[in-house]
Structure 1
Amino acid sequence: MKKLFLFCLLLLILQFAKAQDVFKHGRVIVSPNGHYLQYEDGQPFFWLGDTAWELFHRLKIEEIDTYLKNRQQKGFNVIQAVALAEFDGLTKPNQYGDVPLIGNDPLKPNEKYFELVDTVVKMAERRGLYIGLLPTWGDKVTLAWGAGPVVFNKDNAYKYGYWIASRYKNSPNVLWILGGDRPAKQDTNDWRPIWTAMANGVLDATDHKAFITYHPSGGPYSTSQYIHTEPWLDMNMIQSGHGGGHDVATWDLIGRDYKLLPHKPVIDAEPNYEDHPVNPWPKWDPATGYYDAYDVRKQLYRSVFAGAAGVTYGHHSVWQFYNRREEVINHAKMYWTEAVDRPGASQSGYLVKLMRSRPLLQRVPDDGLILSGQGKKGEHACAFSDSLGRYVMVYLPIGKKIAVDTRAIKNAKIVASWFDPKTGNVKTAQLITRQDKMEFTPPTTGLGNDWVLVLDDPKYNYQEPAKRPYVYQ
């Protein structure tokens, strides 16, 4: 028994050591072409986030460990969580009886509360996970909706940003996300000076080495509308959200930001959550049902294939960590402990393996590669090529015959294969003679049968995605 224990302990130590290897590549920075993310040593970084907004507020340490282990195993690498949480985050204590601020004063942080945040940041680091840390939810800057109260102004926003960034400046796994589901500007209301002050505090505390982005409110909004040119903003975010039905054109929103100058990466940081009611505002009609894994896959893949530097998955029960201690929010239908294993979460990890199976940083989104079978709305297909002519990928939300322009690949031969987003497996790989225009039909067709067509130059001999590890070695 003792030998078995020691063997299991050794395996655990090796697992953590392998996960931590990710940080040997240096900080996460913007790639030279401005569109994607990489480590300082040039290795690509593909952002696969999970929305864990209430992580510090609603869970105990043991529960947090269970959650982080689950997300590590499924291939996530960024956990998006909020220091000053949304739901009564200033007045309702965490599971250990601590509130984050003394007297709701951002200049009087509660040490006991932030000791929990410290612990979680370290736990995530041991598992090779980044914390996409929101210093505050947006209702503490502008109420608009939510519990608030508004506690920030330009002066204390800078000081709080400096304080919290100083606390984590030596943590290699902290990425900063400002905003918290609020616009930076709306009509005549302009909160940009407050957010800029907080960003400057973060930058000054980290010797200007922090990676900072901003989580906007849902709908057609993007950080690019009001803060794209801010020097502190490293990456744009959109929130295609949960209120527009099954097929919000996230590919158009990503494509808009992809083209902007100066070039900055962009991701959809909150697409439709798995098991979230479909368009529940102002009043939900249960007949419209819930978003399922298929709905989730369509938005994840189409945003990435449109040029995003990654994407964030979310589950409606997980972001709120619904459990028997909490009141249900917006018709969540299961506890988070069950929700972490819903199919969309695992299938998000398959996307990581697909993208990491090919060079990431020279992707060029181009739906013009699809010569026929493009489709609209729910059938809208997305495609990209590699600027060096090594491969082409086409995502089909509905299985059907398509014609593809293959001239991006210069070899007289191509390897054509079909990647299944539901299973992560590759089917019917064939070496064939390349023609400039070629027709392809996926293994299954019709609604619910989404596929990725992968065309490779055979001289590169790429691995199948299923054989790739989630993290860099």
Structure 2
Amino acid sequence: MHGPIAAAPDGRTLLRDGAPFFWLADTCWSAFTSISDREWEDYLDLRAEQGFTVLQLNTLAQWDRCNAPGDRHPFATPDGICYDFTRPDPAYFAHARAMCRTAVEKGFTLALVVMWCNYVPDTWAARIFPENVMPEDCVEPVVRTICENFREFAPVWIVSGDTDFKSEAACTRYRQVTELVEQYAPGLPKAYHICGRSDDLPDWFARHADFYLYQSGHNRAGQDCAFTLAEHFAALQPRRPVINSEPCYEQMGYSHKEYGRFRRQETRRALWQSLLAGACAGITYGAHGVWNWQREGVPARKLVRVPGQPPATFGEGFLRALPWERAVRFPGAADYAFARQFMLQGGGEALVPCQEILAAYAPQVRAARRGRQVLIYLPVNAPLPLQGDWSGYTATALDLNGTEARVPLTVDLQQEQTLLGMHPFYEDALLILQPKQGN
């Protein structure tokens, strides 16, 4: 088994067992409740073959998961929805440990959520589903149970799940959970999974985080958060490695019931804009149908009725997911795996944003330095002007599948600019500027 992940000395990248490590995670939040043993083996084998290195899993039941035959539950439950937190189910945790053991034997690092926000008072999810807010006197025994069952796997503890920190009640509860994790699983890294499009990580939690995670999320109008939040967290002190731990998921419907789905192109754009804007420690992929483990023909899970409100479907009302067997093979996973290969080919060296070189199309076009090399993500094919004289460089376009092509480079001394010509590919590309020999 591998040792825990740690921040590299540069404060921007990660190490595992002393070697450069790129966080390429898949979100499989519902694994412990919903996946059969045979499905788990098949899923792990495929994701390992694709190059994934981290699995983001919820230790407790994911509140907006899909229904599953033989649903497993971490606590006694009269209706399969509401829990008696005083009665943990040993069989649930034993089975979850066995799943973790299989995953780490196949080379995965686990990123385990300790307490999703629906279990925490005065969060957005708790206001929708108040029945499962965990009583205060149950917090210590539940967190102790989680730590004692999973700490042997050297996980990254994701203390919070999809949370906001807008109320004192929520902050008090998450401070308590953080301190309990430090007590019962000392020496393991911690991070916080924040709700979509938010930069709200109060100072106390930032000091206790080993990495900064953010979520650019599933709102169609909020996709610029892939780079704006990367910039925000990369500028925080103390400096920590930054990861977009929940960009738009492939084939996820736009949030708030807006019609439409994120396609491969949008997920790839979120990937590269995150990496080049400051979140270069890694990236998380998501497939709609995998995170919630959708099965063919199984109806959506329903909330219990909240007094004064009609029954509601779990979550934000996304369009129905495709079955997990199809979702696990969405083509966008290959784009994320390619990004990991590309990043590690550079020896795991950090990317340092350099937007100042762009003379047009910022902020959607992203630029970063990797040593003497300059990388530019171009989401739309167009000639790109740069500030200054770049005649000492060669320019190559990479079509994000590995095919390369030279890009013409023309210097305009009068305008004090250099124009990069159009590349020959149909979609987005990564432009690589490399100093000529002798420069």
Q: TM-score range by the shorter chain?
A: 0.7 to 0.9
Give the corresponding residue for 2:313. Answer: none
Query: What secondary structure does 2:221 align onto?
Result: coil
Is the CA contact (8 Å cut-off) linking 1:50 and 1:76 kept in structure 2?
A: yes
Report whether the alignment pairs 1:300 with 2:271.
Answer: yes
Q: Which of 417, 423, 426 is the aligned partner of 1:443?
A: 423
Quickly say closer, same or farther: Cα 1:453–1:444, change in 2 above 3 A: same
Q: For the residues of structure 2 that align with 1:125 and 1:54, how far apart are their CA atoms?
A: 18
Is the CA contact (8 Å cut-off) linking 1:105 and 1:151 kept in structure 2?
A: no
Identify unmatched segments of 5+ residues in structure 1: 1-19, 461-473
Q: For the residues of structure 2 that align with 1:94 and 1:395, how far apart are their CA atoms?
A: 41
Give the corresponding residue for 2:134. Answer: 151
Is the CA contact (8 Å cut-off) linking 1:215 and 1:223 kept in structure 2?
A: no
In structure 2, what residue type is equivalent to 1:30?
A
Report whether the alignment pairs 1:326 with 2:326.
Answer: no
Q: For the residues of structure 1 that align with 2:205 and 2:94, how far apart are their CA atoms?
A: 35
Q: For the residues of structure 1 that align with 2:72 and 2:234, how far apart are their CA atoms?
A: 42
Report whether the alignment pairs 1:133 with 2:121.
Answer: no
Is the CA contact (8 Å cut-off) linking 1:246 and 1:295 kept in structure 2?
A: no
Quickly say closer, same or farther: Cα 1:336–1:198, change in 2 above 3 A: same
In structure 2, what residue type is equivalent to 1:300?
L
TM-score (norm: length of structure 2): 0.84
Give the corresponding residue for 2:347. Answer: 359
Give the corresponding residue for 2:220. Answer: 244
TM-score (norm: length of structure 1): 0.78
Give the corresponding residue for 2:163. Answer: 182
Count of matched residue positions in the alignment of Structure 1 and Structure 2? 409
Q: For 1:28-427, list aligned pairs within 5 A.
A: 28-41=5-18, 43-87=19-63, 96=70, 98-102=72-76, 104-106=83-85, 108-142=87-121, 143-146=126-129, 148-153=131-136, 155-172=137-154, 174-183=155-164, 185-186=165-166, 188-206=167-185, 208-219=186-197, 221-224=198-201, 226-227=202-203, 229-245=205-221, 247-278=223-254, 280-281=255-256, 283-284=257-258, 286=259, 289-308=260-279, 309-324=281-296, 326-328=298-300, 330-370=318-358, 372-375=359-362, 380-386=364-370, 389-404=371-386, 414-421=393-400, 423-427=401-405
Post-superposition CA distance 1:423-461 (Å, at most 9, x none): 23333399999x99643234236xx6111011235779x
Moved more, 334-343 or 354-363: 354-363
Q: For the residues of structure 2 that align with 1:147 and 1:156, how far apart are their CA atoms?
A: 16
Give the corresponding residue for 2:303. Answer: none
Quickly say closer, same or farther: Cα 1:413–1:375, change in 2 above 3 A: closer
Higher RCO (C-alpha 8 Å, min separation 6): 2
Is the CA contact (8 Å cut-off) linking 1:395 and 1:451 kept in structure 2?
A: yes
Quickly say closer, same or farther: Cα 1:381–1:337, change in 2 above 3 A: same
Following TM superposition, by how much is the alpha carbon of 1:161 offset from its aligned partner in structure 2, in angstroms?
A: 2.2
Is the CA contact (8 Å cut-off) linking 1:100 and 1:109 kept in structure 2?
A: yes
Q: For the residues of structure 2 that align with 1:342 and 1:406, how far apart are their CA atoms?
A: 41
In structure 2, what residue type is equivalent to 1:290?
R
Post-superposition CA distance 1:1-39 (Å, at most 9, x none): xxxxxxxxxxxxxxxxxxx6xx2xx42111223233223
Quickly say closer, same or farther: Cα 1:100–1:128, change in 2 above 3 A: same
What RMSD over aligned residues (CA atoms) do the two structures have, in Å?
A: 3.1
Is the CA contact (8 Å cut-off) linking 2:59 and 2:114 kept in structure 1?
A: yes
Is the CA contact (8 Å cut-off) linking 2:26 and 2:55 kept in structure 1?
A: yes
In structure 2, what residue type is equivalent to 1:403?
P
Following TM superposition, by how much is the alpha carbon of 1:275 offset from its aligned partner in structure 2, in angstroms?
A: 0.9
Q: For the residues of structure 2 that align with 1:293 and 1:132, how far apart are their CA atoms?
A: 25
In structure 2, what residue type is equivalent to 1:302?
Q
Query: What secondary structure does 2:261 align onto?
Result: coil
Following TM superposition, by how much is the alpha carbon of 1:148 offset from its aligned partner in structure 2, in angstroms?
A: 4.8
Question: Alignment identity in percent?
Answer: 24
Query: What secondary structure does 1:158 align onto?
Result: helix
Q: For the residues of structure 2 that align with 1:67 and 1:406, how far apart are their CA atoms?
A: 49
Following TM superposition, by how much is the alpha carbon of 1:107 offset from its aligned partner in structure 2, in angstroms?
A: 5.1
Query: What secondary structure does 2:251 align onto?
Result: coil
Quickly say closer, same or farther: Cα 1:413–1:137, change in 2 above 3 A: same
Q: For the residues of structure 2 that align with 1:295 and 1:32, how far apart are their CA atoms?
A: 33
Query: What secondary structure does 1:99 align onto?
Result: coil
Identify unmatched segments of 5+ residues in structure 2: 78-82, 301-316
Following TM superposition, by how much is the alpha carbon of 1:93 offset from its aligned partner in structure 2, in angstroms?
A: 9.4
Is the CA contact (8 Å cut-off) linking 1:228 and 1:236 kept in structure 2?
A: no
Is the CA contact (8 Å cut-off) linking 1:227 and 1:233 kept in structure 2?
A: no
Give the corresponding residue for 1:455. Answer: 433
Query: What secondary structure does 2:191 align onto?
Result: strand
Q: For the residues of structure 1 that align with 2:70 and 2:388, how far apart are their CA atoms?
A: 59
Post-superposition CA distance 1:389-439 (Å, at most 9, x none): 4311110111111134588x9xx9645322212x23333399999x99643
Following TM superposition, by how much is the alpha carbon of 1:146 offset from its aligned partner in structure 2, in angstroms?
A: 4.0
Following TM superposition, by how much is the alpha carbon of 1:244 offset from its aligned partner in structure 2, in angstroms?
A: 3.5
Query: What secondary structure does 2:103 align onto?
Result: helix
Q: For the residues of structure 1 that align with 2:333 and 2:14, how far apart are their CA atoms?
A: 22
Following TM superposition, by how much is the alpha carbon of 1:306 offset from its aligned partner in structure 2, in angstroms?
A: 0.5
Post-superposition CA distance 1:289-334 (Å, at most 9, x none): 2110001111111011101021211111111111036324732252
In structure 1, what residue type is equivalent to 2:43?
Y
Query: What secondary structure does 2:356 align onto?
Result: helix
Following TM superposition, by how much is the alpha carbon of 1:80 offset from its aligned partner in structure 2, in angstroms?
A: 1.0
Query: What secondary structure does 1:454 align onto?
Result: strand
